[in-house]
Amino acid sequence: MTIYDFTVRKPNGTRLPLYEFEGKPVVIINTASKCKFTPQFSDLQRLYEEYHPQGVEFIGFPCNQFGEQEPGSDEEAESFCQINYGVKFQIFGKIEVNGENAHPLFDYLKKSAPFRGFDETNINEKLLKMMIAEKNPEWLVGDSIKWNFTKFLIGKQGQVIARFEPADELDALRQQLEDQLH
């Protein structure tokens, strides 16, 4: 199984099979418009601009499961990213990433790249863990997506290469992207 086995929905409702990205590294991100991590859109857009000419795709999936930080419609989420952060990579329709209504793509991603645990020497991860413990303690267990802006790097054959948590430095993602291109 690879990501090519899944189909996703664009904000306008049309469906896109992920095999359209076959042969390209892909970065998949669950996003939100009103999150502490939302400013990552700027850095993600810069990475996209740097690596897209080399065939790398970035795709975002708005999610309202974490503190209801993506309350608008699919179109509003897409527009927010474009207007406020100049995002040019594709933003798809809102989805759930955890629980019984989680999109099968995210079930596959979580199974393929398990949660590595919190690095409590990193203050942002420690604070994130405390917030999750207070608001959604069930997400502390297992490989669930812990919060908005979890990122997955997908290789050219559609396999999951790495998972990056919201507080991870984007330099780690950059290095893994470089490895995929060489």
Determine if the pTM surpasses 0.75. yes
> Structural domain boundaries of the chain?
3-181
In terms of CATH architecture, what is 3-181? Answer: 3-Layer(aba) Sandwich (3.40)
- For the stretch 100-155, pLDDT in tens is 999 999 999 999 999 988 888 888 889 889 988 988 888 888 999 999 999 999 99
Q: Which residues are catalytic?
A: 35
Distance of CA 73 to the CA centre of its chain: 18
Q: How deeply is 31 buried, as exposed, middle or buried, from its count of CB atoms within 10 A (0-12, 13-18, 19+)?
A: buried
- For the stretch 57-114, pLDDT in tens is 999 999 999 889 998 898 989 988 888 889 999 999 999 999 999 999 999 999 999 9
β partners of residue 63:
none
Calpha distance 143→165 (Å, rounded): 11
Distance of CA 56 to the CA centre of its chain: 15
Calpha distance 173→164 (Å, rounded): 7
Q: How deeply is 68 buried, as exposed, middle or buried, from its count of CB atoms within 10 A (0-12, 13-18, 19+)?
A: exposed
